[in-house]
């Protein structure tokens, strides 16, 4: 059973496939900077120059200088690595906790399933920032702790999806049919389940990364997890706010950077969603697009649990 992938056009959305291409380009640039940033940066992001405070863009400082005379472009490039890596870490944590739990919830009995579902609900009740701040109160003000907290809030989304996928697999008739026809379990998994689950997983992962990146930016903006003088996107934005009257243009730069990257990730998630073959597990109601927060995963999870509620 082969299906050609037909681009499905979302209702009234401008985020069509060409946008996905642009998004991929943007993300590629960001990842390259994250990996090679320190080599690519034109200047040392830590060099303080007392005579060159708050300069505007110039030949030697493409994006100007900050409150200590440091080159803004180099700082943002250096900050990319930290921000992007920690976002990935958070997503990884969410995946590593959520996916196995999703599978386990199906096979370990109703009570376990019920309990984990309620814990997932409870975690989603809290607006994430309060939870993360509480974690830093308990465990210390580091980015590692904060990222663990964010990752911990991402697992319910992954949990719901893997649970729904596993349920579907466990009950699907086509699985039985395929097995009756002689296909091995492995073949069934690979051909049917993966085809159905992978697109959803891609959507979820992209959305989760967007949410995590936003969370990193926000947390570093609030000062959580910032280790001076290491630059972070949110940290640069925060100090720009402190000197607004001396450099009113300054916050737009990191702000734009954050928005563009998060937007690209969301666009990617949308593209995955749009291109999903109709038979696949629905990732989320396509009309609720581009929530750029953690709560999108709950919405995604809803649809599965609603449809495959035990």
Subset of 60-99 contacting other proteins (CB under 8 A): 67-69
Query: Is 252 an interacting residue with respect to other proteins (CB under 8 A)?
Result: yes
Query: Is 164 an interacting residue with respect to other proteins (CB under 8 A)?
Result: no
Query: Is 163 an interacting residue with respect to other proteins (CB under 8 A)?
Result: no
Site stretch for other proteins (CB under 8 A), options 73-81, 89-97, 185-193, 292-300: 292-300
Is residue 303 within 8 Å of 164, Cβ to Cβ?
no
Query: Is 111 an interacting residue with respect to other proteins (CB under 8 A)?
Result: no
Binding test (CB under 8 A) with other proteins, winner from 1, 50, 59, 180: 50
Q: Which residues pair with 71 in a beta bridge?
A: 65
Beta carbon of residue 143, minimum distance to other proteins (angstroms, whole number): 13
Query: Is 139 an interacting residue with respect to other proteins (CB under 8 A)?
Result: yes
Binding test (CB under 8 A) with other proteins, winner from 118, 171, 185, 187: 118
Binding test (CB under 8 A) with other proteins, winner from 22, 119, 193, 280: 119
Query: Is 7 an interacting residue with respect to other proteins (CB under 8 A)?
Result: no
Q: If you write DSSP's letter for every residue of 227-262 in order, what string do you get?
A: -TTS--HHHHHHHHHHTTTT-TTTTHHHHHHHHHHH
- Separation of alpha carbons 121 and 109, rounded Å: 18
Binding test (CB under 8 A) with other proteins, winner from 75, 239, 272, 282: 239
Query: Is 228 an interacting residue with respect to other proteins (CB under 8 A)?
Result: yes
Query: Is 144 an interacting residue with respect to other proteins (CB under 8 A)?
Result: no
Alpha helices by DSSP H, listed for the chain, are 17-40, 72-107, 110-125, 128-139, 143-171, 173-180, 185-188, 194-221, 233-242, 252-274, 295-307
Query: Is 248 an interacting residue with respect to other proteins (CB under 8 A)?
Result: yes
Name the nearest CA neighbour of 283 among 157, 175, 193, 136: 157
- Separation of alpha carbons 75 and 38, rounded Å: 9
């Amino acid at each position: 059973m082969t299906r050609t992938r037909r681009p499905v056009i979302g209702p009234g959305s401008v985020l069509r496939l060409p946008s996905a291409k642009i998004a991929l380009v943007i993300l590629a640039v960001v990842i390259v900077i994250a990996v090679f940033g320190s080599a690519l940066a034109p200047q040392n992001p830590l060099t303080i120059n007392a005579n060159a405070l708050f300069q505007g863009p110039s030949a030697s400082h493409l994006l100007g200088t900050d409150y200590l005379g440091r080159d803004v472009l180099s700082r943002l490039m250096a900050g990319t690595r930290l921000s992007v890596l920690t976002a990935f870490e958070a997503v990884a944590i969410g995946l590593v906790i959520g996916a196995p739990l999703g599978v386990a919830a199906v096979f370990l009995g109703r009570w376990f399933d019920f309990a984990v579902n309620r814990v997932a609900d409870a975690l989603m009740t809290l607006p994430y920032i309060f939870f993360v701040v509480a974690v830093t109160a308990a465990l210390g003000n580091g980015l590692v702790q904060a990222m663990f907290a964010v990752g911990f809030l991402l697992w319910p989304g992954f949990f719901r999806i893997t649970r729904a996928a596993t349920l579907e697999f466990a009950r699907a008739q086509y699985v039985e049919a395929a097995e009756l026809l002689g296909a091995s379990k492995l073949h069934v998994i690979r051909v049917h389940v993966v085809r159905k689950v992978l697109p959803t997983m891609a959507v979820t992962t992209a959305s989760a990364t967007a949410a995590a990146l936003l969370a990193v930016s926000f947390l570093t903006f609030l000062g959580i997890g910032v280790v001076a003088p290491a630059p972070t996107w949110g940290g640069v934005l925060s100090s720009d706010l402190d000197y607004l009257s001396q450099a009113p243009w300054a916050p737009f730069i990191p702000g734009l950077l954050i928005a563009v990257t998060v937007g690209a990730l969301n666009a990617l998630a949308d593209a995955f969603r749009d291109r999903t073959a109709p038979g696949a597990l629905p990732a989320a109601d396509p009309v609720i697009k581009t929530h750029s927060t953690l709560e999108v995963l709950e919405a995604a999870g809803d649809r599965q649990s609603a449809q495959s509620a035990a």
